[in-house]
Amino acid sequence: MDELIDTYLDAYERTQGVLPERLDEIGATYREQGYLTRDQLYDLAYENSTRSAYHVESNPPERCREVTANVRTVDGDFSKIQLLTGLSGFKAPTASAVLTALDPEHHAVVDTRVWASLDRLEYLDGRKESFDAADYVTMIEPIREIASETGYTPAEVGYALFAYDEDVREGTLH
């Protein structure tokens, strides 16, 4: 598993995935401010999913600050994702990007590709195309297990799993 993560973590930069450096910048701002503004959430959502980012603009600015401040105080992965998905424009994959920006040592950006890789590697069973908070919990557990075994962060494991699927997938994504 070490070799797979190492290989595909290097390959990640050649994918269409969200840039880790950009998430690091947003995360630094998030930790410093204690919340994210609507504009900052839009930028993050655009990095993660350009086609749904415009929905973020329908959130009241104060709600964006409130929700992202509250995420920092809530325990539990399910609760954190559920809270973020209460904002327009945030489904579990985009919410996972917020958590990963905030805490890459404990979270990973997840999506269809990451799920497919976990399925392919026999950590999960079956394919999925849409995700909710419970699915995030289902994915983050083996991601953390792999991180613990390999010495990489969950964020790095997530990036590698994304690149792995992009490399080995035959046919279209959906």
6-54 pLDDT per residue, tens: 999 999 999 988 889 999 999 999 999 999 999 999 999 998 877 879 9
Question: pLDDT tens digit string along 4-19?
Answer: 999 999 999 999 888 8
pLDDT above 80 (res 114): yes
Dihedral sign from CA coordinates of 81, 84, 90, 94: negative
Share of the chain above pLDDT 70, in %: 98
User: How many angstroms separate the CA atoms of 155 and 18, rounded?
Assistant: 11
Question: pLDDT tens digit string along 71-84?
Answer: 999 999 999 999 99
CB atoms within 10 A of CB 37: 15
How far CA 174 is from CA of 31, 81, 111, in Å, comes to 35, 23, 12
